[in-house]
Chain A
Amino acid sequence: MSTALVTDLTIFVLALLVGIEVIGKVPATLHTPLMSAANSIHGIVLAGALLIGVTAHTVVGYILAFVAAFFAAANVVGGYAVTGRMLKMFRRKAAPAPAPAPAPAREAVAGERQESVRS
């Protein structure tokens, strides 16, 4: 077993543990946006799809690179766009403050209100 492989496996296992820790505390309200967010993160496969291009010099290689790039780009761009769209709704309705405060402050107030609702 090569050193590179051991390194890769170490990273993999640690990332798995981090993933479990990071997700375990998310409130149910955010599960759908969270699933969507995780969904867009696996769009990183676009980096892998692009790297095919380094060695692709045959028709089969080009076809695979094209389809992979198409698929992965749809995943990453669509994923982030749709997550953003969902979260935007959360904020708009979460800030029913009648007094128009500056944007950052309003976001903070909304956050507090949501916290108090949950507790």
Chain B
Amino acid sequence: MSSFTTNMQLVYVLAAACFVVGLHLMNSPATARRGNQVSTAGMVIALIATLVLLIHAGSVTAVGWTVLIIGALLGSAAGLWSARTVQMTAMPQLVSMFNAVGGGAAALVAVYGYIHDESAPGGVLGSTSVFTVLDVIIGSVTFTGSLIAAGKLQGLLTGSPVLIKGGRAINLALIVVALGSAAFMLTTASLPALLLVVLASLAFGVLMVLPIGGADMPVVISLLNAFTGTAVAMAGFVIQNWALIVAGALVGASGGILTKLMADAMNRSLANIMLGGFGTGDTAVAAVVSGDVPIRSIAADDAAIQLAYASKVIIVPGYGLAAAQAQHGVAELAKLLEDRGIEVSYAIHPVAGRMPGHMNVLLAEANVPYPQLKEMDEINPEFPRADVALVIGANDVTNPAARRPGTAISGMPILDVDQAQSIIVVKRSMGTGYAGIDNELYANPKTSMYFADAKKAVAEMTAAVKTLVG
């Protein structure tokens, strides 16, 4: 490492400091935007320093520059286009795609480094081999795993757990192949062995995510985000670059914490998620609502009367609302009710939507005033005072069965919707939620079911309220 290169590492330290400060500023909504700007500034500094290093090295060929510039420009255009056009509901898929390309890039950096070192006079150092193998394994698993996760959320692949016969045996074989090749590489530099590691890891990534149900995908994406960070840090070890090491470690640690927070919010352990989805475990004791329990169904007019003459309404949005793109309609309905002097608030479950905080983003997009969004602990004591709880496309997070032991969702924190004076549930059918169990809330005598697509139902209720109150 020349002294010039060492000095450039100092610039990388500055960039890394920007990342830390940027993440720290994201602790509060008030400073979050500044946080992102600081983080962006750090990235720009790091990339400019890298360009200076490239120019200083003087060994980049004309073809090399062309390849790098065209690749980077095309990639930037693709990234920018998808970031600008993505629906807010499809956000988790996009994050997953960015994980895939990030992990893929990290793996490629290590593969290239290995090819280069192998032909170099000194050969491949033992320590470099270790980091190369770690980078390649984590990066490749992330690449295919993230693609599968995105495919599941986008609906290109089935969201339900896919169980492959003998999947565990295949996984075990893949791990043996990957680790065996890796061990061989420690003693002998071998490109074919590395490629074997790559292939085994790519296959493992697919098999790791396929058996996991759609409901757990947010946790998986968060985990893969942490994986990508770790892969990038390993790439940093391979090419001895502090910026990659620090940024990768930051993301690895933060992604890990975030993953745990998400899993906790769903009352799922990470091991549980990775080893099998809902419905594959001990869910036999689930069904309590039998077919002969009377379900009261309701039409738009009746729902509108209940809403228009309430004094306090709590809206409980769920993924069904997001999937139907009904957030704007709901905001309009809420505004209408507010204009009549009705107190309207939204009860946001920690995992409403697809990721923690996802529902806040969706409602923010629909210009719902922030003070109306209440988190679970804050809103739960208010349900007994609410005349109407309007549940739109939320299921498992409202199921009182979670309070009893012995069901698939036991112990999961829920919204106390059943405490409200009356309950209107907008839902497309009696189908079960992700947990695959019946919702006891629907059999509650206070509950009326409004069977419709969330967007259509909200529009009908809005129209009915308007007619009703002139």
Contact indicator A8/B245 (Cβ below 8 Å) = yes
Tell me if B's interface is mostly helix, strand, loop or mixed: helix
Nearest CB in chain A: distance from B249 CB, A: 4
Render B363-383 as a binary contact track against A, CB cut-off 8 A, 1 for contact: 111011111011100000000
Q: How many residues of B contact A (CB 8 A)?
A: 122
- Docked-complex contact A56 and B112, CB < 8 angstroms: yes
| Known contacts A32-B357, A40-B39, A67-B108; A47 and B71 CB within 8 A of each other | no
Decide yes or no whether B189 CB sits under 8 A from chain A: no
CB–CB B368/A93 < 8 A: yes
Q: Is the CB of B84 within 8 A of A41?
A: no
Interface residues on A, range: 35 or more
* Cβ–Cβ contact B369 & A37, under 8 A: no
Q: Give a binary string over B232-254; 1 marks a CB under 8 Å from any A CB, 0 the rest.
A: 11011101111111111111111
B450 CB-CB contact with A under 8 Å: no
Binary contact readout A1-42 vs B (1 if CB under 8 angstroms, 0 otherwise) = 110110010011101111110111111111111111111111
Q: With both chains docked as a complex, state the minimum distance between the C-beta of A65 and any C-beta of chain B, in angstroms.
A: 5
- CB-CB under 8 A from B101, the residues of chain A are 70-72, 74-75
Is the CB of B104 closer than 8 A to any CB of chain A?
yes
- Known contacts A11-B245, A23-B257, A64-B112; is A42 also within 8 Å of B251 by CB? yes
Q: Which residue of A lies closest to B86 (CB)?
A: A82
Q: Which chain A residue lies CB-closest to B331? A: A93
A31 to B373, CA, bound (A): 15
Q: A41-B247, A66-B67 are in contact. Are A75 and B254 (CB under 8 A)?
A: no
Bitwise interface map of B from 51 to 66 toward A, beta carbon under 8 Å scored 1, else 0: 1011001011101110
Cross-chain contact B109 with A45 (CB below 8 angstroms): yes
Closest to A20 in B: B253
Are B50 and A47 in touch, CB under 8 angstroms? Answer: yes
Distance between A17 CB and nearest chain B CB, rounded to angstroms: 7
In the complex, the answer to whether B247 meets A32 with C-beta atoms within 8 Å is no
Whether B75 and A39, one on each chain, are in contact in the complex, defined by CB atoms closer than 8 angstroms, is: no
A27: chain B residues at CB < 8 Å are 27-29
Q: State the main secondary structure of chain A at its contact with B.
A: helix
Check if B29 sits within 8 Å of A72, measured CB to CB: no
Q: Which of B209-217, B222-230, B283-291, B297-305 contacts A (4 or more CB under 8 A)?
A: B222-230
A48: B residues at CB distance < 8 A: 105-106, 109, 232, 235-236, 239, 241, 244
Taking CB atoms, residues of chain B closer than 8 Å to A91 are: 33
* Contact call A90/B32, Cβ cutoff below 8 A: yes
Given contacts A36-B91, A40-B98, A74-B76, 9 further A-B pairs with CB under 8 A are A8-B245, A37-B23, A37-B26, A56-B116, A57-B61, A74-B78, A77-B80, A89-B88, A111-B30
Sorted nearest first, the 3 A-B pairs with minimum C-beta distance are A111-B30, A78-B79, A19-B253
Contact sample, A vs B, 22 pairs, CB 8 Å cutoff: A15-B249, A34-B357, A44-B19, A44-B46, A44-B243, A50-B68, A64-B111, A67-B108, A74-B75, A74-B78, A74-B98, A77-B79, A77-B83, A78-B80, A84-B40, A87-B33, A107-B33, A108-B30, A113-B370, A114-B30, A117-B370, A117-B371
